[in-house]
Amino acid sequence: MEMEPSRATYYRFVTLALITILLALSSGDRATLSIAGPNMSKDLGIDPIRMGWLFSAFAWAYVLAHIPAGWLADKLGAKRTILGGVVLWSIVTFLMGGVSWLSSTFLALLILRFLLGVFEAPVGPAAGRIIAAWFPASERGLAGAIFNSAQYVSLVIFTPLMGYLDHRFGWEHIFSVMGILGLVFAMIWGATYYAPGSHPKVSQTELDCIREGGGLVELGSTPSATTSPAQGPSLADLAELFRSRP
């Protein structure tokens, strides 16, 4: 049944749920080393100093990549930037589970942790664009609070899961399972996220509510095929203008 154009919808909160899950996943993936570390360091012979390097590799990459990540989110839009980031960091996470097969395990882990930081950096800038587009100013504080709470929700959900995987199957499966979860989410994101102006189900009432409240509903939207960009006057218009002058 087709939704009436005037019916109120709340797809902005569905979008908020998506980016909250996104941040929870990214926080969980960066915490994989914390859970896998004790048993992994024993199996691979990684001493505490080199383990510190692995933790700092992510932090340095995450900080340094934020500015180019913000530029990328502005250039490509939030949907494509996040989709690419999730796919790439999930693959990196999955690959960490196979480093024991390599001769230079520490170097491989160092590179992968650095790449994880690079690919996770777009989450914050892109989510900021999404909140600005989907929420009126009166709701952005609440939306931002719910979004940022995902970092702690992630610890509640994923830490017990990763602990169980480590105990029951081995530390390698922490990385493989978290990587697969990320790829599943990437498919969900690609199929369900839209900018407000391009969303196929959002009502005009909700769009008006967001727009009137200061939301940038056209941010990231695809122009309709029935509309064309604004153009200047044609030559015929200018000729008519001059003929009509006294």
190: domain CATH number is 1.20.1250.20
- Residue 204 domain flag: yes
Q: What is the pLDDT of residue 209?
A: 83
* Range of weakest confidence among 44-48, 88-92, 166-170, 205-209: 205-209
Q: Is residue 83 part of a domain?
A: yes
* CB count in 10 Å sphere of residue 30: 21
Instruction: Report the domain count for the chain.
Output: 1
The HSE-up count of residue 72 (CA atoms within 13 Å, CB side) is 20
The per-residue pLDDT for 205 is: 84
Q: What are phi and psi for residue 209, nearest 5 degrees?
A: -60, -45
Residue 234 pLDDT grade (very low, low, confident, very high; cuts 50, 70, 90): very low
Residues of the chain with pLDDT > 70, as a percent, come to 86
| C-alpha to C-alpha distance for 82 and 72, rounded to whole angstroms | 10
Quote the domain boundaries for residue 108.
11-212
What average pLDDT score do residues 164-175 get? 93
The 3-state DSSP class for residue 35 equals helix
pLDDT of residue 105: 86
Q: Is the pLDDT of residue 224 over 80?
A: no
